[in-house]
Structures are given as C-alpha cells and as structure tokens.
Amino acid sequence: MGKSSIHRKYDGVCFAVTGAAGFLGSNLCNYLLEQGAWVLALDNFLTGQHRNIQDIKSRYPHQFFFADENIIEGIQQWDFFIAKNKLPHPKFLFHLASPASPVDFERLWRETSLANTLGLLKCFDWAEKFDTRVVFASTSEVYGNPAAHPQMEDHLGEVNFHGPRGCYDEAKRLGEALVYQMVNKGAIHGVVRIFNTYGPGMRLTDGRVISSFFQQVYQNNRIVVHGDGHQTRSFCYSRDMVRALLAYAYSGEQSPINLGSVEEVSVLQLAELIAQRFGNWSTTIEFAQRRKDDPQRRRPDLSRARDLLDWTPTTTLIEGLDLTAKYFYDGLKTETARVLHAQPN
C-alpha cells in the first residue's frame, strides 16, 4: 500500500533512538518507520542483535539512518546524517541504550553503569543543539523489592545497591536524578519507568523469565523456576509499550510515569502456561534456588499513565506469548539450518 493511500501519524517527523538494535529499540524503530517517520538510530551491538535491524535497513533505506557507535563515547554520525539527507531536527530522542538483563549485569557492569549516566549526559549534550526532548528509559527496578504494592511513582524504592542488580538499579536511579537536574534548569526532558516487557526482538539467551522459559521449552523440553514460583510479575507486550513511549513523549510530561501491564501472574503460573501451550505432554517444571534480590511482587500502578497519557495496554498475555513464540521458533529454525549448512558433508 503506497504512502498516499494510508494515514501515517508520524510522516515527516524525525526521531532518534539509542539502543536501536535492542529488543525495545528495534520495535520502536520499526513502528515509527511504518508510520512514515525518519529515524536516527545508534547501537554498538553489545547486547543488541544485528538480526533486529537487518530487515529494517533493507525495507527503509531512505528513512533509517544507523550509526554503529558506543553512546558512552558520544554521538558522532547523526549530525552528518541530518545534513546529508536534509532531515528536520529530531523532535525526540529515546535513550534506550543499556544492558537490561540480569545475566548481563555481572559481565557488563561498567557498561551498564555508564550507559545510563555518562551516556545519558551525551544524549543531553547532543539534544541541546536541536532543542530535542530526551525520554530516558528508566525501569521498575528503581523500586527494588518494595513493601508497597502495586508500585506508585512516589515510592522511593528499597534497593540493594550491593547486590548483583546494583549496577543497573542505581545507574537508572542516578539517570533519573540527572533528568531531574536538567528539568530544573529548564530542559524539556522526561522519564518513563518500564516494567517487564516482552515480544519479538528479545534475545533467546537474555535471561529474562519469558525468553528463558521459551528457550528451555524449545531446547530442553523443561522449565526451571527459581524459588517457589509464587513471586509475581506483570508482562507488557512490546507493541503496547511502544505506544506508551510515544504517548509520553508527545504529552510533554517530565516527571516519571510507570508503563507496564496490570495483568499480574505468578512465575509458576507463567511456567505452567508456557509448558501447556508451547511444550508437549512430557514437558516438566523444575525448581532451583531463588536468585538474590529477586523482587517478590511486581505490578505498576497505572493511574498516571491512564490519566495523563490516556494509555493502557490492550494485548493479553496469551496473545503476546503466541506472537513471541513464533519469533523464537522461527529464529531457532534459522539458526539450526545455518549450523547444519556450515557442517562439512
């Protein structure tokens, strides 16, 4: 369907996205490009996947401008892209660049800490040239393992900064503090607190609970639950989260707002659902030691998101899992075929 035959909300608008080859970043880029926007993208593939942007590059060669750069070292190529292609000044910069999985924090603790602090400052410096609004992707992890439930934005958090998640949790908290200081000086930036999100584009080995369960079902026909499984989570599908990010960006709000789902399930219920729906009669559920600092309950209060952004998620957990399962299954088939093709006859 041609450009003239469909209404596209973001036609002619330029956006910037760090972490563009990551799970959420690639979903945001793809959505914006479908809507006719120009996108300046950046990633150094520390945890992002080439697979996530290969199709985007081929489908949108005149809308998608990608820089293979480390945000910690600053943004070098975007100015060139703007000048060469006569792009309008970017309206928003979404700073999504950061390792975001517990399996990455130990080996990438330095990069995790710096991406959310020094990298954020680099975003501020670049955005100032174009009067661009920076939206910083913070996290529900700023709440730690709180007694308050559901979590509201005014809760100050109960975080163990000496724990295995400390480099991520505290870097996000400092990032929020930096946004607060910039806003006090008249900047137009803002913060979103993203709760558990899933969907196509995730790494199968990223250690998050949904991707881990799918990996275990497909490769080992079993699921391993850490702890007793009574800890709860609420999972938001990626397309809903993308809509939320854009709603926040355009709202002009500057204080943190929770984004996520209120469909709360226990980890054990999730394991049973994935086993029944995507496993077979012999799929087993096993238990392992609970991970340190694993939150017992996690669900956002979405009152501010509903009132200020007019946003709530619309994709059910079942619907989202079906779409995610296909992505993982197709990826495993492709990888298996690649390995078999590479083997000598």
Report, as residue numbers or ranges, the catalytic residues. Answer: 168
Cβ atoms of residues 234 and 277 within 8 Å: no
Distance CA 90, CA 47 (A): 25
Residue 177 CB neighbours (<10 A) = 12
Cβ atoms of residues 14 and 91 within 8 Å: yes
264 to 118, 119, 196, 208, 230: CA distances (angstroms): 34, 33, 11, 16, 11
* Closest to 157 in 3D by CA, of 168, 137, 173: 173
Cβ atoms of residues 111 and 95 within 8 Å: no
Indicate the SS3 state at residue 147: coil
